[in-house]
Amino acid sequence: MSAASDALGRLRGNPPQPVATEIAHRPLDRRRRTLVQIGAGTALIAAIVVAGTVLSASAELTDLTARRLPPSLAHPFGTDWLGRDMLARTLVGLRLSLAIGTLAATVSAVIALLLAAAAGALGRRVDTAVSWLVDLFLAIPHLVLLILIAFAAGRGARGVIIAVAVTHWPSLTRLLRGEARRVAASDYVAVAQRLGHGGWWVARRHLLAHLVPHFTVGLVLLFPHAILHEAALSFLGLGLSPHAPAIGIILSDAMRYLSAGAWWLAVLPGLALLTVVKAVDTVGENLRALADPHSVHE
């Protein structure tokens, strides 16, 4: 009906009726939805950090009369073999994951920015060296590299933090380097140089201006990887100490009690971790949609 009625409407001077899909893709609606998702994701993460901080004492509280209880209103995530409340332990563990994730993603993103800027500004030899370094880091399976570095740093909390911090930059470096080279080869940089602007001016006004949005989005999107890798290393026993309330440790403990039927020890904390990772990822993807609108169009 739309084509015919549109034609009729135009004849009568009415504007054409928007089709349903057009409404959904109107820029304002899409933008508002994006902002709402960023706000909701950030609020969820902030709430977890606050709850994890408040509950850090009660997560260690043992209650031998309330051992291995399945989920209930008093203990939504159940209790473990020492009667500790699993919801409190999970929230404290998530806060720890977020803290390590923040540190690791920041360190990795800064390494990526420095290497990409060097590759873009310091000429072809440096560029080749940076590319080679990226290839070298991608040559070994990431988890094997994490194990090697965690071992080299003496295992434990220090080992896992260093390992996740210094291994997440290669993919972002590749992206930023490509972006830096594209800007360096552009006409407006050539024009700026002809106008007499120096290398530093160009780097600041053109290169950095282009790299900062990609850097910010990349930083947020590195976060989920870092969190998951920290949890994996702790789960394998190569990360945080067995006494730390970390998600990897909780899940590795839960593995021992699974055959006894204590499903809630593994299912719910893992689901919580998945939710947090998804929330951070949603924030990152929506930030990218704002920073780089072209990436959204199919």
Partner 1 sequence: MLAGRLAGRAARLAVLLAAVAVACFALMEASPVDPVDAYVGAEAARIGPEQRALIAERFGLDDPPLVRFGLWAGRVVRGDLGTSMIFNAPVTQVIASRFAASLALMASAWLLSGALGFGLGILAALTRRSALDRAIRVGAYTLASAPTFWVGLLLLTVFAVTLGWAPVCCATDIGSDPATASLGERLRHLALPAATLSIAGVAPIALHTRAQAVSILDSDFVTFARAQGERGGGLVRHRVLRNAAVPAVLLQFASLSELFGGSVLAETVFSYPGLGQATVQAGLRGDVPLLLGIALFTTVFVFTGNLLGDTTHHLLDPRLRSTSRRRAGRSRAVEVHT
Q: How many residues bind partner 1 (CB under 8 A)?
A: 43
Shortest Å distance, C-beta 74 to partner 1: 23
**CB-nearer residue toward partner 1: 46 or 148:** 148
Residue 20 sits in the site that holds partner 1 (CB under 8 A): no
- Binding mask of the shown chain, residues 268 to 287, with x at each position contacting partner 1 by CB under 8 A: --x--xx--xx--x------
Residue 188 sits in the site that holds partner 1 (CB under 8 A): no
Residue 228 sits in the site that holds partner 1 (CB under 8 A): yes
Residue 55 sits in the site that holds partner 1 (CB under 8 A): no
* Helices and strands in the chain: count of H runs, count of E runs: 13, 0
Residue 236 sits in the site that holds partner 1 (CB under 8 A): yes
Residue 29 sits in the site that holds partner 1 (CB under 8 A): no
| Separation of alpha carbons 48 and 97, rounded Å | 11
Q: Which listed residue (77, 169, 215, 235) binds partner 1 by CB under 8 A?
A: 235
| Separation of alpha carbons 126 and 94, rounded Å | 39
Neighbours of 241 (CB within 10 A): 12
Residue 220 sits in the site that holds partner 1 (CB under 8 A): no
User: CA dist 170 to 117, 285, 290, Å?
Assistant: 14, 19, 24
C-beta pairs of 89-92 under 8 Å, 24+ apart in sequence: 89/59, 89/245, 89/250, 89/269, 90/247, 90/250, 90/268, 90/269, 90/272, 91/48, 91/51, 91/52, 91/55, 91/59, 91/272, 92/52, 92/55, 92/56, 92/59, 92/245
- Residues 152-181 touching partner 1, rule: CB under 8 A, are 152-155
**CB-nearer residue toward partner 1: 86 or 251:** 251
**Nearest to 172, CA basis, from 119, 251, 231:** 119
| Separation of alpha carbons 288 and 39, rounded Å | 14
Q: Which listed residue (27, 139, 200, 297) binds partner 1 by CB under 8 A?
A: 139
Residue 289 sits in the site that holds partner 1 (CB under 8 A): no
- The residues binding partner 1 (CB under 8 A) are 21, 135-136, 138-144, 147-155, 224, 228, 231-232, 235-238, 251, 254-255, 258-259, 261, 263, 266-267, 270, 273-274, 277-278, 281, 298
